[in-house]
Amino acid sequence: MKILVINAGSSSLKYQVYDMSSETALASGRVERIGMDSSILVHEPHHTDETSEVSEILDHTTAIRKVLDKLTDAEVGVVKSIDEIEAVGHRVVHGGETFKGSVLVTSEVKAEIRRLFDLAPLHNPACMMGIKAAESNMPNVPQVCVFDTAFHQSMPARSYMYAIPQVLYKKHKIRRYGFHGTSHDYVSKQAAAVVNRPLEDLKIITCHIGNGGSLTAVQGGKSVDTTMGMTPLEGLMMGTRSGDLDPAIVPYTMSKEDLTVNEVNSMLNKHSGLQAISGTSSDMREIEEGMQNGEPNATLAFEMYEYRIRKYIGAYAAAMDGADVIVFTAGVGENSATVRQRVCEKLTFLGVEIDQELNKIRSKEPRYISTPNSKIAVLVIPTNEELMIARDTYRLANNAK
């Protein structure tokens, strides 16, 4: 069975095609600047060179039609006919409390995702555009939604409740949901395979640190706490997001700087984090370069970023009364030996011992970076959210047959 995986944003759309008989990706690509002038489609078939083309792509339906044209193209295509694609999997950011796992798309599912627009006003409407566009291009193909929040639905109330009037939870569903669930789920399962122990017996701290970042405490294969909250703003310091801060800063800043709700939201989500402290970049590569050149703001940005990851690792070891494995994943976690080194070198109180040479190796394979003596196994595991989405889509589409 071949499966198309779609990750739709408001003006972009990423895709991958999987052959599930071998779980291999046949092609991937992206459409950017949908609805703006000079949209671009970059198609990367895995058997030949990537192609790109600039044209006017007015909406998501047209974007998917163009993607399907590429997938069936005589030279750069990967299927003979679109009928070979037997299911479509969609990444959906917010599943609220309703979706505790992946589901086949029905009219009820779409209505519920629409009801959740309030909780993810930027993300869920875009996901819905992706679903509708796929349905209109492939009307007889099963569509599946895989939610970023679903993995965290196992959290106990003590982790997901905020200490504010309960009426706000009851009326408006204000609680911690957590995100990157597909990634935390994937790397924790991979970690169990790497250390060759049953997932049910393990306490794992998964560090998904990319442009956005979150840590999760995974006990027995289930999320018991995670750093992102009702929205992806809470927790770690990120590329452009502030992460944790005293909530009183919000009304104080609004009154002092005469900011609107939208302006303060934008400040915390788009103009904070590494970008704000370094004053130059949200990209960890540039922060590290700045630090090597002795730039004080880049150094401070790095130290704040690394310190908060370390603080949460300590917190999650306490949350689970110990930890067997720490996993680093996503752009920074997979690529920055410096961040991993600096986080781990002050975790000696937990018995963490890093092998400096192993930590420097660059590889796409899951690997140890801790020594055999380390009390906690420290691993680098490349995440693969698309494969997880393809697996769930395959399972649900097969069940529906």
**Residue list for the binding site for Mg(2+):** 7, 385
Among 20, 67, 284, 344, binds ligand AMP (CB under 6 A): 284
- Could you list the residues known to form a binding site for ATP, using ranges: 14, 208-212, 283-285, 331-335
Among 335, 359, 384, 393, binds ligand AMP (CB under 6 A): 335
Given the complex with ligand AMP, which of 61 and 275 has the nearer CB atom? Answer: 275
**Smallest distance from ligand AMP to CB 187, Å:** 12
Give, in order, the Cα–Cα distances in Å from 291 to each of 133, 265, 328: 45, 29, 22
Nearest to 234 by CA among 176, 279, 164: 176
Place of tokens 């140890």: 368
185 is catalytic: no
- Could you list the residues known to form a binding site for substrate, using ranges: 91
For ligand AMP, which residue has the nearest CB?
331
Contact 159, 113 (CB under 8 A): no
Q: Tell me which DSSP letter residue 114 carries.
A: H
Q: Tell me which DSSP letter residue 327 carries.
A: E
Q: Tell me which DSSP letter residue 33 carries.
A: S
Given the complex with ligand AMP, which of 332 and 352 has the nearer CB atom? Answer: 332
Contact 144, 102 (CB under 8 A): yes
Map the footprint of ligand AMP across residues 210-229, applying CB under 6 A: 210-211
Among 89, 243, 331, 382, binds ligand AMP (CB under 6 A): 331
Nearest to 328 by CA among 349, 359, 350: 359
Place of tokens 């759309």: 13
Q: Tell me which DSSP letter residue 69 carries.
A: H
How many angstroms separate the CA atoms of 81 and 337, rounded?
Answer: 44
Place of tokens 């630090």: 291
Given the complex with ligand AMP, which of 77 and 239 has the nearer CB atom? Answer: 239
Residue type, 11: S
| Total residues in contact with ligand AMP, by rule CB under 6 A | 11
Among 45, 142, 239, 290, binds ligand AMP (CB under 6 A): 239
Q: Is 401 exposed, middle or buried (0-12, 13-18, 19+ CB in 10 A)?
A: exposed
Map the footprint of ligand AMP across residues 24-83, applying CB under 6 A: none
Dmax over Cα atoms in the chain, in whole Å? 61
Binding of residue 114 to ligand AMP (CB under 6 A): no
**Among 148, 185, 324, 392, the one annotated catalytic:** 148
Given the complex with ligand AMP, which of 153 and 188 has the nearer CB atom? Answer: 188
Given the complex with ligand AMP, which of 86 and 234 has the nearer CB atom? Answer: 234
Which chain residues interact with ligand AMP by CB under 6 A? 210-211, 239, 283-285, 330-332, 335-336
- Positions annotated as catalytic residues are 148
